[in-house]
Structure 1
């Protein structure tokens, strides 16, 4: 029986916007450190919503092409290589479910161990990470640094060298999902709330509650636009 021809995959809107942004960078010979036009202006020029443009910004930030920070707008970090950006985006989307699965398997156990093994100094480091993330969010940022500090502090408090090494091996992949997740509307505050529930369980040395809170947190932060069905702009 002859193999059926596969249907042509329709590009997602954010992929089209990414291609337009890369073309904008190339035709204007933009150099690292230069800023793209303001988001509202750029969305108007492209004829798309700011939400769709923001998703394209995040896709480029994940690849290290743009840096998007509150008050600074989108700043070029490195020039995109023609023909590789969309392929990298699709490879990222393909591996995202596996990264989420690995995070849940590792971090739930780390939270359980942290609750039973943490020292007072390590609890202080966890609280410090919560403070950093809360401060970032108050200033209008996404809380990426504080989020990373928190999960690192939980890993340190677990005192499991092998699990810590496994976490370090997928740290780059986790950073991709962290940026993507914290760019979702309302996500930074929701994520901080999840961190606080984990921290309280660790403070009380309740391993079951810590693992349960971490599992709920990972499920929350794993809900990203990239994995949702495409909708019209």
Structure 2
């Protein structure tokens, strides 16, 4: 469950409410492709590759079986995709932006997610239909999602990462790359906020980092003038 929460946030960097309220058939959907499935080269002989992640699970007899999580899978390996869909009532800024475009979960997570849905989740005896659950079977709360992220990130890295910070990190990183304004605008729409909010609220670069491209531009201009 922790792995999936981190994984989903890495490809759908949304608010913690999205994680809490994932529910198959309401906000989480399995969509089949219209075109026939095409397999990557490693699938041609029935092999799923050597770099896939595997996980042990005890069988009813007590013997351990191995589950192929297909952590190196790509879109070509499936004839369907898992997507998150939100209407205006399902997210914070829905009143302003209306129905959101489908948010696509990475195929590398499908194996782990389906293992969770089909086998693991029931061991926590959830008393609800949400995808993720607390240990006592109750729905995850905002505090619960926050705790999962901060405690796990601190244990593994020595730094605490919360859901909002994940959004900040992704935007800060992308705004420091060569991503075009068109791509950044598309990302803002995908994440359910405005381009202005992306620039002001989520971008944590320092002023020096933000103006670095201008410094480089002027430097190259001056160099060209000097050579001319």
TM-score normalized by the length of structure 2: 0.25
Q: Between Structure 1 and Structure 2, which shows a larger proportion of helix residues?
A: 1
Q: Between Structure 1 and Structure 2, which shows a larger proportion of strand residues?
A: 2
TM-score normalized by the length of structure 1: 0.25
Query: Over alpha carbons, which structure has the higher Rg?
Result: 2
